[in-house]
Chains A and B, each alone.
Chain A
Amino acid sequence: QVQLQESGSGLLRPSETLSLACAVSGFSVGEGFYWDWIRQPPGGGLEWIGSVYATGSTHYNPSLKSRLIMSVDRSKNQFSLKLRSVTASDTAIYYCARDDYGDLLYWGQGIPVTVSS
């Protein structure tokens, strides 16, 4: 059974860097698949943030690309997101998911992130 669990900083001030990790169990991140981050602002829709492959290659949403770094840590069996220079518009629930050629079957439960001064 594949399970994903987000962790990281839940409250940030504007201009800080958001750091999130997604711990994976039941599957090795190094064995393949892309690993995605998706976010959902309060009361809003879903936004795809980006994908990182087992090898570390990435695809980012152009709207976030200049501030975003995603990576895989095989030793910890997790993948991570760093989003710098956050603003209030980055306030959202952040989900991680396993990406099987675009099919997002396994999701984490989500972690709320608030950016406020």
Chain B
Amino acid sequence: DIQMTQSPSSLSASVGDRVTITCRASQGIRKDLGWYQQKPGRAPTRLVFGGSSLQNGVPSRFSGSGSGTEFTLTINNLQPEDFATYFCLYHDTYPYTFGQGTKLEIK
């Protein structure tokens, strides 16, 4: 089974900052990776699919990239509404695997 290692587990940043979250796969994968945002008490929402395609309606300050074993989610110009927890999801083969999550907090 593919294992996904997400880092960092938590991140403190300020409004206007740029942050990067990484997911590393235990072996090379295609671009079947998505990024999700979850706010307290809510279900996750999809931000990025196919490694780098932005979901309709998601601000362009979010971007996904990567291939092989390393994938990143970058958020430019952090806004107050971006402080949340982020997960990657590998879904090329079963079982699907989520990263452990990154909690993004306001500094």
A62 touching B43, Cβ below 8 Å:
no
Report how far A101 CA is from B87 CA in the complex, Å. Answer: 18
Residues in A whose Cβ lies below 8 Å from that of B49? 103
- Residue pair A59, B95 in contact (C-beta under 8 Å): yes
How many Å lie between the Cα of A29 and that of B19 in the bound state?
39
One digit per residue, 1 when the CB lies within 8 angstroms of any chain B CB and 0 when it does not, for chain A 59-70 equals 111100000000
Contact, CB under 8 Å: A102 / B101: no
Contacts of A107 in B (CB 8 A): 43-45
Given A102-B34, A104-B34, A105-B55; A95-B43 close (CB under 8 Å):
yes
User: Which residue from chain A places its CB closest to the CB of B55 in the assembled complex?
Assistant: A105
Number of residues in B with C-beta < 8 Å to the partner?
24
Interface residues on A, range: 20 to 34
Whole-angstrom distance between the alpha carbons of A101 and B1 in the complex?
Answer: 18
Asked if A47 and B98 sit within 8 Å, CB to CB, the answer is yes
A14 interface contact, C-beta 8 A: no
Contacts of A101 in B (CB 8 A): 91
Bitwise, B63-97 to A at CB < 8 A (1) or not (0) is: 00000000000000000000000010101101111
Q: A103-B34, A107-B43 are in contact. Are A46 and B98 (CB under 8 A)?
A: yes
A45, B46: Cβ atoms under 8 Å?
no
15 A-B residue pairs with CB within 8 Å: A38-B98, A45-B87, A45-B99, A45-B101, A46-B87, A46-B101, A48-B98, A102-B32, A102-B96, A103-B91, A104-B34, A105-B46, A107-B44, A108-B43, A110-B43
B: residues with CB less than 8 A from A are 1, 32, 34, 36, 38, 42-46, 49, 55, 87, 89, 91-92, 94-101
Partner-B contacts on A (CB < 8 A): 36, 38, 45-48, 51, 59-62, 95, 101-105, 107-110
